[in-house]
Amino acid sequence: MDQFSAHLDRGWDLVQRGDPRGAELSARRALEIDSQSPEAYNLLGYVAALKGEFDEATEHYRQAIALDDTYLEAMLNAAEVYVHPLGDFEEALSLCDQALDLAETDDEVVDALLLKFDALLGKGEAEQAGELCRKFPEGPFENPNHTFLVGRALYEIGDLERAFPLIDDAVKRSVKNAEAWYYLGLLRDERGDSHGATSAFLASRDLDLELGTPPWSLSRETFEMTARGALASLPEELRRFVREDEVYAADVPGVEVVVDGVDPRALLLLDGVNPGAVSTMTARVFVYQRNVERLAGSVEHVAAEIRAALEREISATFLEADGPLAVPEKTLN
């Protein structure tokens, strides 16, 4: 193996080991040998995304594509970042269409279609996303992750009958797939199987806890401070329903509340509501760091995700149940 390839291989190995800084160093050493290597720029993009540096990631991916306009892997990697967390769905769709023109295998087609599906849903084009699902190749899929992702797409458009066997099969083929267990819980719940749903949700919760935190993850103290700051930024009409001195952080919801029906991937929970009239109720706030950071994708979006979740939960718990106290819509924006 030549030195250039050795640096790239080591870089991807370090990615798998959860060492993005070491992987970045390997990629840059590869670039010292070949400054026009699209593969090295693709690795740099992947590393930047792991570190939560998403604009930088897309720059590296774009450079890789500029050096090789048939580089399908870089197109798909860039599209994934554009879908989430950047939310630039037009860019994602453009890249997905380019990738579909280049795709030669069923796996490549499925990868591109799945990302295009997510981009269409992100734009609110559910009908087009549903139509796209008809283009998925017929299973069974050799890649168990494709089995899950196609099943998830079908779930998202409401095709539960087709989604269930795929998700069920995905769990059997990849028992460590936390996402598959979570969606199996959702599907079992839809079928009225509350016991089966709880079992699946608990399995998903346990697997989520086994996963490492992102490299940019906040310390618990900083996360709690960020949560308190997000709460303090709410309008008084919402803030008055919670106890600002009782904001607590945990990794994920506890087993006892999941068994009681709380979503294991909930961002936060309002608890300890005082009995009596709605106008005198206040609640403690439990904020779940693993779930917030998974959705946020980077440090910059953590506070916004917490604030949005607080707005939703406070409104649903207190205001929607008590019309006269409803907050004017403009205060929720």
Looking at residue 1, its pLDDT comes to 66
Q: For 141-193, how does the pLDDT look when each residue is reduced to its tens digit (9 = 90+)?
A: 889 999 999 999 999 999 999 999 999 999 999 999 999 999 999 999 999 99
Alpha helices in 211-254 (DSSP H): 220-232, 236-239
Average pLDDT over residues 102-120: 95
pTM of whole model > 0.85? no
Instruction: For the chain, give the mean pLDDT.
Output: 92
Q: In the structure, what pLDDT confidence band is assigned to residue 276 with cuts at 50, 70 and 90?
A: low
Task: List, in order, residues 6 or more apart from 136 with CB less than 8 Å away.
Answer: 110, 113, 150, 153
Six-digit token string for 236: 């008084």
Looking at residue 321, its pLDDT comes to 53
Looking at residue 328, its pLDDT comes to 36
Identify the structural domains of the chain with CATH numbers, from first to last: 140-211 (1.25.40.10), 220-332 (3.30.2010.20)
pLDDT higher than threshold 60 for residue 106? yes
pLDDT higher than threshold 70 for residue 13? yes
CB of 113 within 8 A of CB of 136?
yes
pLDDT higher than threshold 70 for residue 263? yes
